[in-house]
Amino acid sequence: MLRTTDIRTYRKMLQNARTPDEAVMMEQLRAISQNIPALYLLLTVAIAALGSTLLGSAPDWLTIWLPAAFFGFATIRLLAWRKMHQVLIDPDKARHQLKRIEFGTMLLFLGMALWIWALLPYANPQERLHFSFFAAFTGASSTICGISRPRLVGVCLAMTLAVFCFLFFSMSERFFYLATAQIGITYFVFFMASLSYKSRLAQSVALLNRLDVENRRSSELADTNRSMALTDMLTGLPNRRSFFQDVDSSYGPKADKILPVIGLIDLDGFKPINDVFGHTAGDAVLVETARRLKQVLGDGASVSRLGGDEFAYILPASMSQEAVEEIGQQIVSAMNEPFSLPSKEVSRVSASIGYSSRSFPVQSARDLLEQADFALFRAKEQKVGRAMEFSASHAQTQMRGAVVHQALKKADLDVELRLVFQPIVNSTDGEMTRCEALARWDSPELGSVSPIEFVAIAEKAGMTQQLTQVVVRKALEQLHAWPDLKSMSVNLSAQDIICRETSDALVAMFLTMPESVRHRLVLEVTESSLLTDLEEARYNLMKFRFLGLKIAIDDFGTGYSSLRYLQELEFDIVKIDRSFGAALDSKARGLGLVATIQHLCRSLSIECIIEGIETQQQLEIARSAGCRYVQGFLYSPPIEAADLAPYLTGEKGFMSYREMLQQLPERDVA
Ligand code: C2E
Ligand code: MG
Ligand code: MG
């Protein structure tokens, strides 16, 4: 069986050989070196046998001491052979060694010939027969041991034959003539066998060489595959899989030591570059981002691309806290530099960063990752283009999130979820023909939980499907009960409009309702929810529109406010975010923005509603910007169905703008 060391020696031999002949020569030496101990053993036995045949009749130095000297010599040589390994894998040394073997064999055979010649006078005819047997046997056994090298075989056979000729021809005995002739022919066959052995050996070496090359090529290929599986092809950075391996190995059982820091980076404004300038421009920005990140982080930290415009880095535990903070700032600054696009245009993106903290005990590296993720979420929420460390208040929110999540999982939403309705009023005549349905969750464990909190948690936990279905069903039921209401809107989560399963479930629900009901339902979606998968969102929204529902874009102005979305997705209604309503106090800027959006909507024949109008002054400015439909605390906060009903029956009414000016010039009206 082939041992691993043999394979290694073999591979080294093949690698070190500069020519095929050298490889064959080294293989010859390897084969011979394996047979040398056997050869010495055979010779020692044969010499001892021959010596003992003439023991007493020939002098002791010939029968005892010379064989003993050979035995000593053989032992020393065998010990020396053990150090052959280095010689085997060095072609020059191997060549030299083979020459030494050939020369040494020649001397050895010469010595044995002289020994036989010295013994001859003491031998009777029968003992001479033993001599011939010895010579023939020595020749044959050395042929077998050195068969891989014809030259060595040639030396052995020629020397043995010479002994035969020299010793036995002189005896003029017929038997020896014939024996010499037969030995000569046999040796010739031996020599030919050695030649063919060598050619087969050369073929095997060539074959093995090819196999070794192919083997190396396939192991190189395997290495490349492995590294490709861990590398992001666009940027050359380690990819998501590699990052998660690094995350796991960055943290060992060393809870009392300083923690490594994991940072997550998300580019702000990358998506519009892709949309506006195309994917080549997007790719160029990602490649340049990777370059800048590597430059900032240097060799001391690892940086990976997780996918899309998300990157991540790991800072070692040995890095000081100041350096950790400094790196966050440096990345933000580096990313604020303009990017030159392949089209020679210049564009800007910024980076939001969330990184883990060393101040909280963690169980595993995954906890650090979660911290970074949470901090990133907060960083993006507050202001784009900043680095944020996971903080105590984050930890608290995270804990609260876990509690709410647990309660939400157990909640019977049919019972615990109810709807409140906020009127949408035409400020010109005070007519309330529309409203927005907003969810309220009365948890038996936690009390009333704000939709801002539980919707975000449901989104993160992938639980919006049940939530939305309950809300939509209740809204449809209410619409059914209010035939005079012109329209009611409900909010959809980002996941609802990009998930085929949810949208199909909604479609099935809409189909159970008469057209007179479902045609009055408006679905509100936010801009950011479109960004995740525009195509899927477009497809699902199209299905809803096909059933006669209207689609509103909610919180308009907080995202990218892309004209492209407005036009391509054919929204029916735009709801200007309430932050604009609030901004109307600082007149000039707020007015300009709202007027522009209003103008845009008019030119695209889209209805426009402004949210968050709390004061008469805001209403005044909103109206001067062209807004008529208003939703805000000025008219009403979200109220129970029973409280809204009187406005529908006409028992109660909202004031028109004109009435408001006349009666309550400076007070909020409801
Ligand atoms: P939204 O869809 O933009 O809803 C309007 C939010 O603004 C409501 O908050 C409403 O109470 C508040 N609002 C209305 N007028 C004023 C005003 O004059 N001033 C101020 N400061 N706020 C005003 P609410 O009900 O807490 O809902 C918050 C958000 O939660 C909603 O924003 C919506 O994004 C989400 N949400 C509410 N219900 C649902 C739901 O059923 N499904 C989903 N997916 N999201 C929901
Ligand atoms: Mg809404
Ligand atoms: Mg809104």
pLDDT grade for 39, boundaries at 50, 70 and 90:
confident
Residue 438: CB within 6 Å of ligand 1? yes
Distance 438 CA to ligand 1 centre (A): 6
Per-domain boundaries in the chain: 4-215, 240-390, 417-663
Spatial separation of the C-alpha atoms in residues 8 and 212, rounded to whole Å:
11
Spatial separation of the C-alpha atoms in residues 496 and 541, rounded to whole Å:
10
For residue 642, the model assigns a pLDDT of 97
Spatial separation of the C-alpha atoms in residues 521 and 436, rounded to whole Å:
10
Looking from the CA of residue 581, the nearest atom of ligand 1 is: 18
Residues in the chain, overall count? 670
Looking from the CA of residue 452, the nearest atom of ligand 1 is: 30
Average pLDDT over residues 543-558: 93
Average pLDDT over residues 104-130: 84
Looking from the CA of residue 496, the nearest atom of ligand 1 is: 44
pLDDT grade for 173, boundaries at 50, 70 and 90:
confident
What is the residue with the minimal CA distance to atom 10 of ligand 1? 638
Task: Choose from 16-30, 150-164, 564-578, 621-635 the range with maximum mean pLDDT.
Answer: 621-635
Which strand (E) or helix (H) includes residue 524?
strand 521-526
Residue list, CB under 5 A from ion ligand 2: 491, 524, 554
**Is the model's pLDDT at 83 over the cut of 70?**
no
Span 417-663: which CATH code?
Answer: 3.20.20.450
Distance 523 CA to ligand 2 centre (A): 9
**Is the model's pLDDT at 471 over the cut of 80?**
yes
Closest CA to 521 of 555, 486, 471, 469: 486
Three-state secondary structure call for residue 267? strand
The Cα diameter of the chain in Å comes to: 155
User: What average pLDDT is seen over the chain?
Assistant: 87
For residue 586, the model assigns a pLDDT of 64
Which pTM was predicted? 0.62
573-576 and 550-556 beta bridge pairing: parallel
Q: Do the Cβ atoms of 467 and 502 come closer than 8 Å?
A: no
Percentage with pLDDT > 90 across the chain: 44
Spatial separation of the C-alpha atoms in residues 27 and 4, rounded to whole Å:
17
pLDDT grade for 31, boundaries at 50, 70 and 90:
confident
pLDDT grade for 502, boundaries at 50, 70 and 90:
very high
Site of tokens 């014939």: 178
Q: Which two tokens stand for residue 342?
A: 């392949």
Task: Choose from 86-90, 193-197, 441-445, 462-466 the range with maximum mean pLDDT.
Answer: 441-445
Percentage with pLDDT > 70 across the chain: 94
Q: Do the Cβ atoms of 253 and 319 come closer than 8 Å?
A: no
**Is the model's pLDDT at 387 over the cut of 90?**
yes
Distance 593 CA to ligand 1 centre (A): 22
β-sheet bridge partners, residue 576: 556, 610
Nearest ligand to the C-alpha of residue 522? 2
For residue 668, the model assigns a pLDDT of 47
For residue 394, the model assigns a pLDDT of 93
Instruction: Please list, in sequence order, all residues whose beta carbon lies within 8 angstroms of the beta carbon of residue 361, skipping any fewer than 6 positions away.
Output: 255
Spatial separation of the C-alpha atoms in residues 117 and 165, rounded to whole Å:
12
**Is the model's pLDDT at 670 over the cut of 50?**
no
Distance 471 CA to ligand 3 centre (A): 16
Q: Does domain 240-390 have CATH number 3.30.950.10?
A: no
Closest CA to 184 of 268, 664, 192: 192
